[in-house]
Amino acid sequence: MLVGLQNVTFEFGARIIVEDATWHIQPNERIGLIGFNGTGKSTLLKVLVGQYAPSAGTLERGRETSIGYLHQDLLSFDTNESILQVALSAFEKVLQLEKEIEALGAELEKTGDEKTLIAYTDKLHELELLGGYNIQHKTEEVLQGLGFSNADLNRPYKEFSGGWRMRVLLAKMILAQPDLLLLDEPTNHLDLPSIEWLEKYLQHYQGAVVIVSHDKYFLNRMVTKIVELYQRQLHFYNGNYEFYEKEKAVRIEMQQKAFENQQDYIRQNERLVERFRAKASKAAMAQSIMKKLDKLDRIEDVAIERPDLRINFRVDKVPGRVIVELDQLSKAFGENVILKNAKAEIDRGDKIALIGANGKGKSTLLRIIADVESFSGNRKWGHNVDESFYAQHQLEALHLNNTILEEMRECGSQMTDLELRALLGCFLFSGDDTDKKIKILSGGEKARVALAKTIVSRANFLMLDEPTNHLDMHSVDLLIGALNKYEGTLILVSHDRHFIARTANKIWEIADGEIKEFKGPYDEWVAWNERMKKNKALQVKDEAPAKNKPGPVPEKPAVAAPPAAANTPINKELKKEVQRQQKLFQQTEEALNKNKTLLQQLEKDLAHPDLYSDKDRFVKTEQAYKTAVAENQQLEKKYEEVFTRLMQLEEEQ
Ligand SMILES: Nc1ncnc2c1ncn2[C@@H]1O[C@H](COP(=O)(O)OP(=O)(O)OP(=O)(O)O)[C@@H](O)[C@H]1O
Ligand SMILES: [Mg+2]
């Protein structure tokens, strides 16, 4: 065992976080630690590393166990050192050795005595054993994997934004190769390529890993065991996230059945007691039944305790048709050109998701629009636009020593304390909670405060940079619901594909220094993008021989396209076939669109909190949704097939 909790209880004042928890972490285990926001996952990690002492029970730790711990909170570390130095500090022992070797070397030069020489060669040998000769190379490799350029490596750590700092700390931890990695929401600040890099890395990691995450795709690929912190207890599941979801449903159903059976049993016995009581001769029996009932271990009802945010974006006034016009927009960081004479327009009602291969460009464009980043070119605001910007740095800009209420007061709305408290109530801060200081809040709680601040503004144009970071999956769904109801305009950046697919009606892609607009939701963009790629591949195939072989191009078989054979039977057949396929293509497209509308409706229904109170309807809707998803997959496949067939036929014609 590496580390373990034995009957551990931990509490903040009167608030119990875990009660009587036992959990042993074994070598090489890959564990996902999950739970709603604020249940105490980060706290539990701090107990595991020994930062917090349990109030009851014991923390056990193998004598040799080394632990690497990545905080959720980025503000806890700052330095003037270069990022290469910060990452290199992972090799504490090697660095120490190097210093000693240097000192011994100097002494050797002076004295030349044999004892020093032996010590010197011993240390050199030790350095070699530790792999100390290529630490620089290894460090550079990991940093580059996480997206740093060579020029970045010598820049001071403190010059970097949150997301990049996170990568440095991640690199440092990865390099130290501890027996146990504790990662608190590592994907929050990373863009897709970095997440993919991290996934690959962790898949081959030799030690044990505990990951706190709200990202189910990530968890599914990364872990083989789930520990859920729920109602102050740890619940163990031997599988990935998908397994957890299924197994949890089964457990809930079993508990529900057991509960109902027990309730029946109790009612029967109570009726007996009623009847026996009336007769003096049976009074003793009634007594004994009552005693039996008292002793019964009561099974809890499965009231699913779920924090329901009530997010409601309001709009104060209606803006003109155009929200923002961008023209001749150029932006570069050194040699890295992000935009060059780009042009785009945001119209009222647009819900735009910014996507692009590399995170840098997206947030930069968002910041340019929000006027917190310099650029050249024109940006023109429309009439009556009230904007509000939600970004990672907004989270970091919360005043740590304020209470939640004070923080809300300072954002300049005209709301009274009473109104602010009511609003905070919607964000699950009730009663005394509003007097909590920002600095003790969990990641999700901080995100909720920042969201509440965004909402207070009643803006009609929202710019959201990674709004789902720190939010648990359920809260993300509620946010999706709220954004769908929002009557204003918005533009967002997110690495969460599920979130993008359900909020955006337009896609902006930054590529080749331009902003490329796609007027449709994300899944259509994906399908379109794939078709384009295939098309390109086909074209390349056609062109390739011509390019590669300058000699005479082999003639196509005469049957396929004889110039004078327009009316031959074969050609007629071909035409008919083309028509048939075209019709089929149209039909499939229609069916696909129809099914998409259905899917959207079902998704809307599923996002509605009321649905969950009606079990039958929920089950039905969920079933319908699953069927529609399957149908969608089939249709997509057919669509692709017909499309490919059509392409072939057109070539033959
Ligand atoms: N020092 C403290 N004193 C009092 N309460 C605290 C303190 N630190 C954290 N809390 C509270 O304990 C609860 C658990 O916090 P924790 O950060 O462990 O949650 P979490 O499960 O990691 O949540 P998230 O998913 O939002 O990151 C929160 O409600 C938080 O406000
Ligand atoms: Mg946390």
- pLDDT at residue 542, as a whole number: 61
Closest Cα partner for 329 from 371, 387, 287?
371
Nearest CA to ligand 1 atom 28: 38
Q: pLDDT tens across 84-133, in order? A: 999 998 888 888 888 999 999 998 888 888 888 998 999 899 888 887 77
442 lines ligand 1 (CB under 6 A): yes
Our answer on whether the CB atom of 43 is closer than 6 Å to any ligand 1 atom is yes
CA distance 472 to 309: 11
Find residue 450's DSSP bridge partners. none
Determine, yes or no, domain membership for 228. Answer: yes
Domain boundary among 499, 520, 541: 520
Q: Please give the number of the atom of ligand 1 that sits closest to the Cα of 442.
A: 17
Let me know whether 261 and 404 are in one domain.
Answer: no
Domain annotation covers residue 530: no
> Are residue 496 and residue 578 in the same domain, yes or no?
no
Instruction: Out of 520, 542, 565, pick the residue that ends a domain.
Output: 520
Residue 132 domain-assigned (yes or no): no
Residue nearest atom 5 in ligand 1 by C-alpha distance = 12
At position 473, the amino acid (one-letter code) is M
- C-alpha 417/C-alpha 566 separation (Å) is 82
Same-domain status, 562 and 505: no
Q: Are residues 326 and 409 in the same domain?
A: yes
Domain count, the chain: 3
Q: Is the CB of 41 under 6 A from ligand 1?
A: yes
The response to whether residue 440 sits with its C-beta less than 6 Å from ligand 1 reads yes
* Ligand 1 atom nearest residue 43's Cα: 18
Which atom of ligand 1 is the closest one to the Cα of 472? 25
Cβ 42 under 6 angstroms from ligand 1: yes
For the chain, how far is it from start to end, CA to CA, in angstroms? 69
37 lines ligand 1 (CB under 6 A): yes
pLDDT value at position 288?
Answer: 84
Site to substitute for ligand 1 among 442, 445, 474, most atoms within 8 A of C-beta? 442
pLDDT value, residue 95: 87
Where among 476, 502, 520 does a domain terminate? 520
Cα of 375 vs its chain's centroid, Å: 30
Same domain flag for 378 and 485:
yes
In a domain? residue 131? no
Residues 328 and 239 in one domain: no
Which residues, at least 6 apart from 179, have a Cβ–Cβ distance to it below 8 Å? 2, 27, 62, 64, 65, 66, 67, 207, 208
Q: How far is CA 260 from the centre of its chain?
A: 37
Cβ neighbourhood burial of 564 (10 Å; 0-12, 13-18, 19+): exposed
Residue 535 lies in a domain: no
Does the C-beta of 32 come closer than 6 Å to ligand 1? no
> How far is the centre of ligand 1, averaged over its atoms, from the C-alpha of 472 (Å)?
14
State both tokens at 148. 């740093």
CA 308 to ligand 1 centroid distance, Å: 18
* pLDDT at 518 (0 to 100): 93
Is the domain of 508 the same as that of 593? no
Q: Which atom, in ligand 1's list, is nearest to the CA of 72?
A: 27
> Quick check: is 483 in a domain?
yes
In whole angstroms, how far apart are CA 45 and each of 40, 67, 343, 443? Answer: 9, 11, 47, 14
* Residue with CA at minimum distance from ligand 1 atom 29: 38
The answer as to whether 78 is a domain residue is: no
Q: What is the identity of the amino acid at 428? A: L
DSSP code at position 495: S
Q: Which residue owns the Cα nearest ligand 1 atom 7?
A: 440
**Amino acid at site 571:** N
Residue 503 and residue 602 share a domain:
no
In a shared domain, residues 417 and 371: yes
Q: What residues are paired with 379 via a beta bridge?
A: 326
Q: How far is the CA of 44 from the centre of ligand 1 (A)?
A: 10
Give the residue ranges of the chain where pLDDT is below 70. Answer: 74-76, 162, 303-305, 357-360, 393-394, 540-570, 647, 650-653
Give the model confidence (pLDDT) of 217-254 as tens digits.
889 989 999 999 998 999 999 999 999 999 998 988 88
Q: Which domain holds residue 638?
A: 555-652
Residues 481, 565 within the same domain: no
CA of 179 to the centre of ligand 1 (A): 26
Tell me the backbone φ, ψ of residue 131, rounded to 5 degrees.
70, 30
Q: Is the pTM of this model over 0.85?
A: no
What pLDDT does residue 9 have? 96
The answer on 348 and 267 residing in a single domain is no
CATH number at residue 192: 3.40.50.300
228 lines ligand 1 (CB under 6 A): no
> 251 CA to middle of ligand 1, Å?
27
For atom 13 of ligand 1, the residue with the nearest CA is 38
Q: Ligand 2 center to residue 129 CA distance, Å? A: 38
Domain shared by 491 and 403, yes or no: yes
Q: What pLDDT is stored for residue 304 in this prediction?
A: 67
Q: Within a domain: residue 548?
A: no
Tell whether ligand 1 has an atom less than 6 A from the beta carbon of residue 188: no
Contact call for residues 328 and 378 (beta carbons, < 8 A):
yes
